[in-house]
Amino acid sequence: MQFRQENLLTFFDSTQRYFIIPVYQRAYSWEKREWQTFLDDLKEQIEGDNNYFFGNILLEQIKEGIEYEIIDGQQRLLTLTIFMRALINVFEKRKESGEKIDVNIESKKSIYLKHNGNIKLRPVDYDRACFEDLIINNIDCETNSISQQRMKEAKIFFTEALNKESTGTLLNILDKIEKTKLTTIELVGKKDAALMFELQNNRGKDLTNIEKLKSYFMYQMYVYSPEGETETNIEYVSNIFKNIYLTIKDLKELEEDSILIYHCNAYINGYNYRTISDIKDTFKNSRKDKVEWIKHFVNELHTTFSNFKRLENSKLSYYQDLKRLKIPSFVYPFIVKGYKFFGDSQEKLNSLFHILEVLVFRYQLINSRADIESRLNEILVNFNGDLKKLKIDLQNKLNETWYWNDERISEYLNGEMHENKVLHYLLWKYEDYIQSEGYNIKKIKLLNEQIEHIAPQTPTNGDPIASGYEINKNGDYGSKFKNEYLNCLGNLMLISGSHNSSIGNKPFKEKLKSYIKNPLLNQQAEIKDFISGNLKNPLWDKTAIDKRHEKILDFAEKKWSFDNVII
């Protein structure tokens, strides 16, 4: 292990030496807040006489004097390289406009970007080609990951910020950068790297829990490995996390630390899991061989990340339904276990998603503040792939719990549904249902999708309610109609925004004609089946609403009953 004090100019100014960010490290994650802090620090430093301190850079020596992997400091060094590209660009543009600037542009490119084809800094390999185009060669590139987009935005940010400064200020900033002090710590092999795992950069983003866990396990491999196996075991952990990071770059829907939580909900402490300290405690208290425990855990974790990648690409119908409902966090640990037990069976996975869809619909419909996780924890912990038992356990638990039992579900479905978060989803599922009853099946998206009150809400401008609705002699709805019918399922329908605005408070006869003439959805076309009176003199009253309400209610109670799930 070697410690060296140097400045940034000497750190970069070598014709042979180059630095690689290994794939098991975090890709570029700095954003505007960190870029602004970086720039503000530089501008503040040029006001004083003291040298700027860049912090510690932790390197693993791969080939002495030539190739080094960056173990800590990658975010700062990537940001510096992007900054130098932006600064060089601004200098070049000003020189082209005729301004005399005492800077050797080609020399700076050679020092900080590329020397005779040797690129000085190389990010994680899946971002390398874009980085080379965008930063090293200064040409635009299509971004295919969040980290690539951040690099592109950082270049734009620094370019715009530096363009606002005088050339004298920019020269002072360059001088301050090149005199910036840093301490490099050179390690030889993964064993030394593991011993230094707690070293981190306190000027950028905090390490993610995945990164902290990787470092912790690498260190524990150092502690518990038999003599002669230490380097191999540390390398084993490093390679597993390399594969995890390769998976993380492809994930679009969930953050890496969220997936870690769901994994630990499934395998460590159920919903009682809180932080990686729980993992550490479980590890310390385990009577199993510590090295094998770590290997098993990181392999299972890698499997979970790979399965989440599969999940994001899943086309299974009930998974798509879950996404439309917006999946609450307590559902994901069941999915983690589901993939473990029958990840190769699409049929069983879809059955699991169906069970969870019923659970989530009931949970979202009630929208109670009651703690559902504590009630489901035992079921989650004991779930071992038996779908029939899972269905029965969930059904029994929800029915013995007042908040989400069958009676409560019916109560909510019979009540005011206008602003319920599952209303749109429910009416789309009702649409699927009535299409399968013999109507023409159509796949339609509504532009500016809205909820239509068939019997309109009371006009806010004071106009009377139009004809064809159940109103009293004062031209208003009665209290029973307002309280029990206006916002119930029987009076609510999916409609496009343009259609909704065109019919507004029109007489029911005109509304009905618009439903029949150009029905985008079958639930609009079938309104004629429920009316009181006839097509010449139609009435939308309590009787009509009751008929439609009972049909939708009967559909919903059967649809979101656990008995409807066939295993």
pLDDT value at residue 200: 43
Residue 119 Ramachandran class (φ > 0 left, ψ -120 to 50 alpha, else beta): beta
Task: Assign 436 a pLDDT band (cuts: 50, 70, 90).
Answer: confident
Is residue 342 helix, strand or coil?
Answer: helix
pLDDT value at residue 52: 65
Most confident of 55-59, 147-151, 367-371, 457-461: 147-151
> For residues 56 and 164, what is the distance between their CA atoms, to the nearest angstrom?
31
**Minimum mean pLDDT range among 223-237, 365-379, 541-555:** 223-237
Tokens of 91: 């200098």
pLDDT at residue 506 tops 50: yes
pLDDT at residue 229 tops 70: yes
**Helices 423-436, 542-559: crossing angle, 10 deg rounding:** 90
pLDDT value at residue 441: 47
pLDDT at residue 44 tops 70: yes
The bridge status of strand 181-187 relative to strand 2-7 is antiparallel
> For residues 298 and 325, what is the distance between their CA atoms, to the nearest angstrom?
32
pLDDT at residue 2 tops 80: no
Average pLDDT value over all residues in the chain: 90
Angle of CA points 385, 389, 392, to nearest 5°: 140
The mean per-residue pLDDT over the stretch 424-428 comes to: 97
Calculate the dihedral angle through the C-alpha atoms of 304, 309, 313, 316, rounding to the nearest 10 degrees. 0
The answer to whether 215 touches 88, Cβ cutoff 8 Å, is: no
Task: Assign 208 a pLDDT band (cuts: 50, 70, 90).
Answer: confident
pLDDT value at residue 190: 63
Q: Report CA-CA distances (Å) from 335 to 20, 269, 567.
A: 36, 16, 16
Angle of CA points 124, 130, 136, to nearest 5°: 95
pLDDT at residue 426 tops 60: yes
- DSSP tag of 71: E
pLDDT tens across 310-334, in order?
999 999 999 999 999 999 999 999 9
What element of type H or E holds 60?
strand 53-63
pLDDT at residue 297 tops 90: yes
**Helices 256-267, 209-224: crossing angle, 10 deg rounding:** 60
Tokens of 515: 């439903």
More confident residue, 535 or 3: 535
pLDDT tens across 456-488, in order?
998 767 788 889 999 988 889 999 999 999 999
pLDDT value at residue 193: 60
- DSSP tag of 52: P
Task: Assign 199 a pLDDT band (cuts: 50, 70, 90).
Answer: very low
> For residues 323 and 346, what is the distance between their CA atoms, to the nearest angstrom?
17
pLDDT value at residue 13: 84
Other beta carbons within 10 angstroms of residue 116's beta carbon come to 7
pTM of the model: 0.78
Estimate the share of the chain in helix, then strand, then coil, as percent rounded to the nearest 5: 60, 10, 30
pLDDT value at residue 198: 46
> For residues 173 and 42, what is the distance between their CA atoms, to the nearest angstrom?
6
The answer to whether 212 touches 282, Cβ cutoff 8 Å, is: no
What element of type H or E holds 20?
strand 18-20
pLDDT value at residue 440: 52
pLDDT value at residue 106: 94
Most confident of 9-18, 25-34, 558-567: 558-567
Other beta carbons within 10 angstroms of residue 311's beta carbon come to 21
Query: 349 Cβ partners below 8 Å, 6+ apart?
Result: 314, 316, 319, 338, 339, 342, 343
The mean per-residue pLDDT over the stretch 375-385 comes to: 96
Q: Which residues pair with 539 in a beta bridge?
A: 532
More confident residue, 441 or 422: 422
pLDDT value at residue 338: 97
Calculate the dihedral angle through the C-alpha atoms of 414, 419, 423, 427, rounding to the nearest 10 degrees. 90
pLDDT tens across 278-288, in order?
999 999 999 99
More confident residue, 35 or 223: 35
**Minimum mean pLDDT range among 136-140, 235-239, 551-555:** 235-239
> For residues 30 and 156, what is the distance between their CA atoms, to the nearest angstrom?
14
pLDDT value at residue 231: 85
Angle of CA points 205, 206, 208, to nearest 5°: 115
